[in-house]
Amino acid sequence: MSIFLQNYAQILQGARVKPIQPVLTGGMVLAETEGFAVTLSYLQLIIIVLTVVLMVAFSFLIGKTKLGRAQRACEQDRAMAALVGVNVDKTIALTFVMGAALAAVAGVMVTLYWGVIDFFIGFLAGLKAFTAAVLGGIGSLPGAMLGGILIGLIEAFWSSYFSVEYKDVASFSILVLVLIFMPYGLLGRPEIEKV
């Protein structure tokens, strides 16, 4: 009996890959030619729509609301933001809450898409998100979106024409080249310090 319990406990616990049941199945065929079909699953469609809605809402929040103005002020100069009446601690706390909420939504979307949960599931995704932010330009929301799209396209084209094992190497090589020749990223601006 104890061997059964030990085996059962090992199945439930640990850092092994754990599959989950598909939540949404089915999709639509976008194009079909000579036995090859380009399909878009309903889950992919929901992920695309949810991502666009969240990015538009986040861009509006950062650009048009009082909280967004406070966040931008704290990002530029915390001491001066506090002097003009911004509650810096509250703004920083709300920023971390927003970041955690967006990360949770992204984690759920990735888990639903791939169908597995792994102890290291977020490591490579976080590394690629950082790469996308640097590629697009740190501090630029459109730059981060552009960087993410470029990283995805680089990996997709590399996997199509070359060995799929080196797609991550291709992405990070592009990052190195951008950092060498354009250290502020594609849409980033160099900081100009006024004296």
**The two three-digit tokens of residue 33, written as one number:** 């030619």
Q: What is the C-alpha separation between 119 and 16, in angstroms, rounded?
A: 7
| Pair 25, 75 in one domain | yes
Buried b (16+ CB within 10 A) or exposed e, 110-124: eeeeeeeeeeeeeee
Asked if residue 9 is part of any domain, the answer here is no
Q: Domain count of the chain?
A: 2
| Pair 113, 134 in one domain | no
Give bridge partners of residue 29 from the DSSP assignment.
39
Q: Print the domain residue range for 141.
A: 120-195
Buried b (16+ CB within 10 A) or exposed e, 13-33: eeeeeeeeeeeeeeeeeeeee
Could you list the pLDDT tens digit for every one of the 195 residues in the chain? 566 555 555 556 666 778 888 888 888 888 888 888 888 899 999 999 999 999 899 989 999 999 999 999 998 889 999 999 999 999 999 999 999 999 899 888 988 888 888 777 778 888 888 888 888 888 777 888 888 888 989 888 988 888 888 888 888 888 888 888 888 888 877 766 665
| Pair 128, 115 in one domain | no
Q: Are 50 and 74 in contact (CB under 8 A)?
A: no
